[in-house]
A and B are shown apart, each in its own frame.
Chain A
Amino acid sequence: MRRYLSRKIITYVVAFFIGVTVDWALPHFMPGDPIQGMLAKYNVANTAGYQALYAQFQASYGLNVSLWQQYLNFWHGVLSGDFGQSIFAQGATVSSLIFSAMPYTVALLVPAVLLSYVLGNRLGAAAARRKVLDNSVLPLGYVLQAIPYPWLALVVVYLFGPLWHLFPTSLGYDQGLVPHFDWRFISSAIDHWFLPFLTVFLVSLGGWAIGMRNLVIYELENDSSRYLRALGSSERVVRRYAYRNASLPQLSGLALQLGVVIGGNIVTEVAFQYPGLGNLIFKAIGAQDYFLLQGIFIFIVIGVLLANFIIDLVFVSVDPRTRLSMQGAAA
């Protein structure tokens, strides 16, 4: 177990290091000068004033020291959670913007991912080698897998909004309300949460169902299953073992899919103008708010790494091979 986890932790440390370095390096080595871009907004005509402003901006963003020092400063900022000031939301720090958006993303992502994973696996396992169920689950799964994220969001918005007027299709709560712990706000938030949740849930469902179906079929043809049948076990018992074996690759698949799911979540949030991190990123692009982009990138990387670590812990508890330091766990 120690060997398994320590290998994983090395991967996480390297991933974090690379994530932070890339995040720092991109603005520095990309074409274009963000400060010039920002100053263009102020329309400074005289040269001396422009230069003074330029130096002032450079200093305030810490760009007047050596690259190496800037890199160390960036690490210091990351580790102390200080990503500087946002450009588009004047007066707000990047961290405060991220923290106020995060609950929405978590509330969307976590239930959608868990529910689609659990339900998809059950559906797929039930469909495997059962003609009638398979003939409905399989095509449905392919369609769900093939539907583009943004399109599903558009269709859901259209059906439940302009067409049927059943649910609100934009923002995180009714306009005029202030985020607050009372029933009016919570019910409004749930109302707004439902459709984006449904979208993220639906797009992930098909993939899990198909994956589980294929794995269970494979397991049911396995020698271990044949042996169980030869011993006279009921089909129910054979299936239960097949399901348990098939769960392992699905679980490592969950870890692998996280990056993809987050991408889909961003698209969904933008389509619904849902006030989570995805929408914040979208606003940051529009306003060329590089500090905010950098901050969100690091936060998402941390989130993915944490989720991976949790999945690892689950893996250790369900796959005995990882505890016994045998090879196990392909992920």
Chain B
Amino acid sequence: MSESISQAPAPEVAATGLPGGAAEAPAPRKRNEFVYYGLRNPKLLFGLTVETLLVLAAIIAPFFAKYAPLTTTNIPIQHPGGTFWLGTDLNGYDMYSQLSNGLRESYLIGALGAAFATAVGLVIGFLAGWRGGWLDEILQLITNVLVMIPSLVLLIVIGSYLTSRSILFEGAFIGLTTWPWVARAVRAQTFSLRSREYVDLARLSGKRPVSIIVKEIAPNMASYLFLVVILLFGSSMLIAASYDFLGLGPSQTVSLGYMMNQAANNSALFYHMWWVFIPPGAVLALMVVALLIANVGLDEVFNPKLRES
């Protein structure tokens, strides 16, 4: 652990320069401090390393697949081995091909869901927090109502009428039902920041509200917001897995949730075909655990109070 190091006053130590910190030398001191603590935070390093490896796998691994994910090889129930690296299922689908493509899709859904949620949440949160008054009341009401409507059930009702669904639809649906988490965070932060003196000063100097929000308020919550977005990224992937498991996922694509759905429907458990149902969930759990741990690490880097004494 970095107990002893983190007690040293940050700017001084950062100035003496370690490889990572020195490379960033021209950057402002603040960033230097984050890099300094970031490189010494085992949680952040562990999370980042695992996540980077998994992202690389998601990009590269599908190219090595010898079979298409949704075309059967007609060779069922193969244990993992030389020909089928991760085996095949009851219907002869190649698990390596499905897993690598599913990994890619999971990241895609995570990014889409987080992007939609952040976009809507930022707008609503800034509006409510900046304007206050009746607009705030109404936006808060909408936020609170949306939180109470169970989104999975809503998706089931909507999904039952749609004959085909795209990845974009799933990402958008997840984003449009999870934005309240962003909006709440942004609203609360805006609320506390908008009465600061430097914001008053910006207002007095005749800046437009949008530029005050972008230049004065947003940068002060950027690190906090970043953490919220990371959590949303992870939860979007988990939510998508549940949707896909219930058969409500995108049509004609392979995802980790779809693999679990197929495993359950094709008696993989009953036939002890562990290579069919263990990998998709284990990989997804690893993806999310790494995100969560990196998130805690980042929190400690951004927030001096949390650095362990």
A-side residues, CB < 8 A to B, are 10-12, 14-15, 18-19, 22-23, 26-27, 30-32, 142-143, 145-152, 154-155, 157-158, 161-163, 217, 221, 256, 258-259, 262-264, 266-267, 270-271, 281-282, 284-285, 288, 290, 293-294, 296-297, 300-301, 304-305, 308, 330
Smallest CB separation, B295 vs chain A (Å): 9
A305 near B148 with CB under 8 A, answer: yes
Interface flag for B163 (CB, 8 Å) = yes
Question: C-beta contact mask, B295-306 vs A, less than 8 Å → 1, else 0?
Answer: 000000000011
Q: Which residue of B145, B242, B257, B289 contacts A15 across the interface (Cβ within 8 Å)?
A: B145
> A23–B153 Cα gap in the complex (Å)?
11
Q: What residues of B have a CB within 8 angstroms of the CB of A149 in the complex?
A: 238, 241-242, 245
Task: Give bound CA distance, A82 to B160, whole Å.
Answer: 22
A22 to B153, CA, bound (A): 12
Q: List 17 A-B contacts (CB under 8 A).
A: A15-B144, A15-B145, A19-B149, A142-B292, A148-B241, A148-B256, A148-B284, A148-B288, A150-B261, A151-B260, A154-B269, A155-B281, A158-B269, A163-B272, A270-B246, A300-B153, A304-B148
**Among B141, B157, B264, B274, residue most surrounded by chain A Cβ atoms (within 10 Å):** B157
Is B254 in contact with chain A by the CB < 8 A criterion? no
Residues in B with CB closer than 8 Å to A14 are 141, 145
The interface residues of chain B lying within 8 Å CB-to-CB of A155 are 277-278, 281
Establish whether residues A150 and B241, one from each chain, have CB atoms under 8 Å apart when the complex forms. yes
Interfacial chain B residues near A147, Cβ < 8 Å: 281, 285
Report yes or no: A266 in contact with B153, Cβ–Cβ below 8 A.
yes
Q: How far is the CA of A301 from the CA of B150 in the complex (A)?
A: 7
Is B201 located at the chain interface by the 8 A CB criterion? Answer: no
Interchain CB contact (< 8 A) of B149 among A157, A217, A288, A301: A301
Nearest A-chain residue to B152, judged by Cβ: A263
Give CA–CA (A10, B140) in the complex, Å: 12
Kindly list chain A residues whose C-beta atoms are within 8 Å of the C-beta of B239.
263
Closest to B163 in A: A32
The answer to whether B119 has its CB under 8 Å from any CB of chain A is no
Known: A154-B264, A157-B269. A259 touches B149 (CB 8 A): yes
Do the beta carbons of A263 and B150 come within 8 Å of each other?
yes
B64 within 8 A of partner (CB): no
Nearest-neighbour CB distance to chain A for B96, whole angstroms, equals 18
Which A residues are CB-close (under 8 A) to B147? 256, 259
Task: Using A18-B145, A259-B148, A301-B149 as known contacts, say yes or no to A162 and B269 having CB atoms under 8 A apart.
Answer: yes
Q: Does B154 contact A22, Cβ atoms closer than 8 Å? A: yes
Q: Which 6 residue pairs spanning A and B have beta carbons closest together?
A: A151-B281, A263-B152, A146-B288, A30-B161, A150-B245, A146-B289
| With contact pairs A30-B162, A142-B292, A145-B292 given, residues A162 and B272 touching in the complex (Cβ less than 8 Å) | yes
| B141-A151 in contact (CB<8A) | no
Q: Which residue of A lies closest to B276 (CB)?
A: A154
Cβ-defined contact, B158 with A150, below 8 A: no
Q: Cα distance A15–B143 when bound, in Å?
A: 10
Q: Which residues of A contact B151 (CB under 8 A)?
A: 259, 263
Could you say which of A15, A262, A290 contacts B153, with CB atoms under 8 Å apart?
A: A262
A305–B149 Cα distance when bound, in Å, is: 9
* Shortest CB distance A322–B (Å): 16
- A154-B260, A154-B269 known; A262 vs B150 contact (CB < 8 Å): yes
Closest chain B CB from A113 CB (angstroms): 14
Instruction: Determine if A150 and B153 form an interchain contact, defined as CB atoms under 8 angstroms apart.
Output: no
Within the complex, what minimum Cβ distance (angstroms) separates B149 from chain A?
6
Q: Are B285 and A143 in contact (CB under 8 A)?
A: yes
**Which chain A residues border B280 with CB–CB below 8 Å?**
151
Would you give the shortest CB distance from A132 to chain B, in whole angstroms?
A: 14
Closest A residue to B287 by beta carbon equals A146
Q: What is the chain A residue whose CB lies nearest that of B177?
A: A259
For B245, B256, B278, which residue has the most chain A Cβ atoms within 10 angstroms? B245
Q: A30 to B157: give the CA distance in the assembly, Å.
A: 10
A31–B161 alpha-carbon span in the complex (Å)? 7
A267 touches B269 (CB 8 A): no
B281 contacts A297, C-beta separation under 8 Å: no
A263 engages B242 (CB within 8 Å): yes
* Cβ-based interface call for B17 (8 A): no
Contact residues in A for B158 (Cβ distance below 8 Å)? 26, 30
Question: Is B225's CB within 8 Å of the partner chain A?
Answer: no
**Interface membership of B229, Cβ < 8 A:** no
Q: A147-B281, A148-B242, A282-B246 are in contact. List 19 more A-B contacts (CB 8 A).
A: A15-B145, A15-B149, A26-B161, A30-B158, A32-B161, A145-B288, A146-B286, A149-B245, A150-B261, A154-B264, A161-B269, A162-B272, A258-B150, A263-B242, A285-B156, A296-B153, A300-B153, A301-B148, A330-B188
CB-CB under 8 A from B157, the residues of chain A are 23, 26, 293-294, 297
Cross-chain contact B160 with A290 (CB below 8 angstroms): yes
Cα A23 to Cα B154 with chains together (Å): 8
Shortest CB-to-CB span from A256 to chain B, Å, is 6
Rounded to whole Å, the gap between the CB of A73 and the closest CB of chain B is 19
Most buried by B among A143, A152, A294: A143
- Cβ 8 A contact of B242, one of A12, A157, A264: A264
B248-273 Cβ-contact flags toward A at 8 Å (1 or 0) = 10000000110011011000011010
Give the docked Cα–Cα distance between A256 and B288 (Å): 21
Within 8 Å of chain A (Cβ to Cβ): is B234?
Answer: yes
Query: Complex Cα distance A282/B157, Å?
Result: 11
- Return B166 CB to nearest CB of chain A, in Å: 14
Which chain B residues border A145 with CB–CB below 8 Å?
Answer: 288, 292
Shortest C-beta distance, A30 to chain B (Å), equals 4
Tell me the complex Cα distance, A266–B155, Å: 12
Contact between A150 and B242, CB atoms less than 8 A apart: yes
Nearest chain-B residue to A268 (Cβ)? B242
A266 cross-chain contacts in B, Cβ below 8 A: 152-153, 156, 246
